[in-house]
Structure formats: C-alpha cells, structure tokens
Amino acid sequence: MDQITKRVLHSFTRWNKDKLDLHELFEAGGNDPEQRTAVFDAVERLVQDGLLNEEGNDFYSLTEKGTKAATSNE
C-alpha cells in the first residue's frame, strides 16, 4: 500500500471521526496540488476495493476491511 493511501486511511484515527469529507481527506496530501490529486485517486481506489463507503455529499467512512487496514502497522 502506498504512503498516500495509508495517510488517507489513517486520517480517520487522526481526526477521531467515523466520517470524513473529501476536504478533510485532502489534508493527507498537504498543500501540494499533485498530492491532493493523488488523494482523490486513492479515495476512489479505496471505495472500489471496499475499504471506504461513500456516504453522500463527499463524505466517506471506513468499512470493516478499511478499519482493519487503518489500524494495521504496515
């Protein structure tokens, strides 16, 4: 798993929230526009891979699989 994907997953524990909006997830990329695009791509992949649920209005939550990945020490 690449670093940006790990940062996206760990955002939920960092913010201590069950749901995060896309703007909060963009923080995983910092202020670099290319990194923010990478965050967007990672979020899309995580949804496709079943680690994130789309909650509507640009909000996302971890699935059970995503929670396990977010708390792993990989």
pLDDT in tens, 15-27: 999 999 999 999 9
> How many Å separate Cα 48 from the centre of its chain?
12
Both tokens assigned to 53 = 């649920």
Both tokens assigned to 45 = 């992949």
pLDDT in tens, 30-72: 999 999 999 999 999 999 999 999 999 999 999 999 999 988 8
- Cβ-contact 34, 24 below 8 angstroms: no
Residue 73 has what pLDDT? 63
Secondary structure percentages of the chain, helix, strand, coil, to 5: 60, 15, 25
**Domains of the chain, first to last:** 3-71 (1.10.10.10)
